[in-house]
Amino acid sequence: MGAIKLFLTGKGPMTGYIARAYDRAVQVAFREFVRATFEDLADQIAGARRVVDVGCGPGQFTIMAAERLPQAQIVGVDLSPTMIELANGHRAASAAVDRVSFEIGDAMALPFADNTFDVAISSGSIKQWPDASRGLAEIHRILAPGGRAFVLEINSDAPASAIEAQRVKLQHWLFRLLFPRVAAQGMTPAQARSACVASPFGEPREQRLLLDGLIWLLVAQKASA
């Protein structure tokens, strides 16, 4: 029932079989895109010392960030115990094993003190949050003054051609079948901006489309002290 609810509503953690299939199929399909996206962001986060990945899933983006930021300590947090189990498996095979960690946590009540992190990243998670502005408020709370958040999500207004181009790359039959529905349950750039404006961040610092409009990137910054 949890898997059915997830695909019908787009809300809730991925657990069990769905989490493992996601790790094998979706992560493989998007690996090159994630790598290219990180290269696009690398200069903006190069000086970060403490980084959090909110809704980290199986942790592959978290680990990539740790491997490219040798000065940073990075923690990934996800509501799904299965995702954290998978992430720790990937972590064990990484050269950055001593600088990256994972823990179970809720984006609506992040398990970190105020002003802890320089940078927050979140990829493919915000659409599943019950309240996007509340989740962004939590990210704002745990960022240090001047800290920045980089949020990526599927654009629910994406062109059909962009959705199809990614759908055919998926390696698992279930995700190929359901990907158009999943894409439709993303967020529009306008919804993302509204959630940001309603949070303590206010107006986003930057917002743009990637991957032929399939993905949007939103950058928000906490005011300096």
pLDDT higher than 70, residue 159: yes
- For the chain, the structural domain boundaries read 2-221
Alpha helices in the chain (DSSP H): 2-9, 16-24, 26-45, 60-68, 81-92, 132-142, 160-167, 173-184, 189-198
Residue 9 — very low, low, confident or very high, per pLDDT cuts 50/70/90? very low
Section 23-39 average pLDDT: 64
28 or 182, greater pLDDT: 182
> Which pairs from 216-219 meet CB under 8 Å and 24+ separation?
216/152, 216/153, 216/155, 216/187, 216/189, 216/192, 217/37, 217/150, 217/151, 217/152, 218/149, 218/150, 218/151, 218/152, 218/189, 218/192, 218/193, 219/44, 219/148, 219/149, 219/150, 219/151
User: pLDDT-derived band of residue 68, with 50, 70 and 90 as boundaries?
Assistant: confident
Lowest mean pLDDT segment, chosen from 3-17, 96-110, 115-129, 136-150: 3-17
- Average of per-residue pLDDT across 122-139: 95
Q: Residue 5 has what pLDDT?
A: 47
pLDDT (0 to 100) of residue 169: 75
CA distance 202 to 123: 20
Residues with Cβ within 8 Å of 38's Cβ and at least 6 positions away in sequence, in order, are 61, 64, 65, 68
Top-confidence residue, 103 or 2:
103
Q: Do the strands 143-154 and 215-221 form a parallel or antiparallel pair, or are they unpaired?
A: antiparallel
Contact 159, 212 (CB under 8 A): yes
Say if residue 1's pLDDT is above 50: no
Q: What's the CATH fold of domain 2-221?
A: Rossmann fold (3.40.50)
> What percentage of the chain exceeds 90 in pLDDT?
55
In this structure, the dihedral spanned by the alpha carbons of residues 87, 91, 97 and 103, taken in order and rounded to 10 degrees, is: 10
Position 209 scores a pLDDT of: 92
pLDDT band at residue 3 using 50, 70 and 90 as cut-offs: very low
Residue-wise pLDDT tens digits, 73-94 = 999 999 989 899 999 999 999 9
Token pair for residue 33?
Answer: 């895109």
Give residue 38's pLDDT: 72
Structure-model confidence comparison of residues 25 and 157, the more confident one: 157
Q: 154 pLDDT exceeds 60?
A: yes
